[in-house]
Amino acid sequence: MLALLPLLASFPSAAAGLPSTGVPSTSIVNGETEEGFPAVVALGAGAGEYTFSACTGSIITPRIVLTAAHCGADLPLEAVVEFGQAYFGTEVTDPDHTVGFEDMAVHPDYEELVSGPTGSDLGQYDFAVLVLEDDAPVPALRINPTPITEADVGLELVSVGFGITSSAGSGSGTKRSADLVLDDVDEMFLYSNTSSSPEGGQICSGDSGGPQLAQLDDSGEWIQVAVHSWGDTNCLYQSGSSRVDVGWDWILDQVEDEHGTRDLCEVNGRYEDGTCDAWCDEVDPDCAVAEGDTGGEEEDGGKACASAAGLAGLGGLLPGLLVALRRRR
């Protein structure tokens, strides 16, 4: 039985003011430096000339960062809010922007991973949100509300994080990405084996809380399907990421508490933004194309309904909606 570990210990002690050397805060193994995915941020702190990242998160509304519960559940809320920051850009040491936090919430049913010689309890509901003190300077990621099933095994995934590049503990603080594959799924986690990765990529310490993404074939939009949660001790064999759809209702509770609505399209300004988002809670005016005018608009270079109707289940259908995701071939 492999020993398993959360992909991050907690934020280093705020009282110390410096990054802890006892637990490496490290990155994607066999990944590539990632200059895209601006909604993926490092979560850490700075003290004088020292800046470090402890884990990763994703912007899902202008004020909310989705991450893993174990990224901050072991520290007093006041310490995370007072000393932590979100770092935007590719390098934590040279960020494009930094934004502090004003609040944090952990899923009420969160149970931490417990690993031992007789087996492992992988825990559950490893979700948390951090509320930014100012609006994020980048667009939010779209997140997936629809259950993933065994029919989706083989789905191509991309994981993004600021963790270490090897079990030796080097490379922390740079945004990297790796192509992974959905090898198995259960009621809580998506499982990815290193042996299935095209380049042998895997998530590692410090990638905790970062997004696992899938891409829609029709629109090319990336959607977050899971949150990085755990891996084997040396980041060599397997990792598990918590399914976003499992925490969907609680996530929307946090959105409503902060923004006064559960409509992510409204919160993120997706209505009347020039792209048809037929998956929104309300009818997007961008999807209202005059009858018989579709062909003319396309010929004239105008925008018709540009995106898919929305998440239909990553292997199934909702009435009248079909969404195709890229699969490994």
pLDDT tens-digit map of 40-99 = 999 998 865 688 888 999 999 999 999 999 987 666 667 888 889 999 999 998 899 999
Measured CA distances, 329 to 30, 31, 163, 196, 294 (Å): 21, 20, 28, 12, 33
The pLDDT of residue 79 is 80
Q: In terms of residues, how long is the chain?
A: 329
Nearest residue to 242 via CA among 254, 255, 230: 230
Q: Say how far apart CA 216 and CA 211 lie, in whole Å.
A: 16
Q: How far is CA 54 from CA 192, 280, 309, in A?
A: 22, 34, 37
Of all helices (H) and strands (E), which one includes residue 81? helix 77-83
Find all residues with CB under 8 Å of 171, minimum gap 6, and list them: 26, 27, 163, 164, 165
CA distance 182 to 150: 9
Do 164 and 171 contact (CB within 8 A), yes or no?
yes
Short-list 161, 125, 199, CA closest to 7: 161
How far apart CA 287 and CA 6 sit, in angstroms, is: 43
Domains assigned to the chain: 1-268 (2.40.10.10)
Residue 272's CB is within 10 A of a number of other CB atoms, namely 10
pLDDT at 320: 27
**Residue 227 near residue 244 (C-beta atoms within 8 A):** yes
pLDDT at 119: 64
pTM attached to this predicted model: 0.82
Whether the Cβ atoms of residue 87 and residue 95 lie closer than 8 Å to each other: yes
Q: How much is the pLDDT for 95? A: 92
Q: Is the four-CA dihedral 147, 153, 155, 161 of positive or negative sign? A: positive
- Average pLDDT for consecutive 10-residue bins of the chain (329 residues)? 56 31 42 83 81 92 96 74 92 92 95 77 95 97 95 95 72 87 97 93 91 89 96 89 98 98 98 92 83 42 34 33 43
Please choose, from the candidates 49, 29, 53, 50, the residue with its C-alpha nearest in 3D space to the C-alpha of residue 40: 53
Assigned token pair, 226? 């899971």
Q: How far apart are alpha carbons 200 and 178 in whole angstroms?
A: 9
Strand 176-181 relative to strand 32-33: parallel, antiparallel, unpaired?
antiparallel
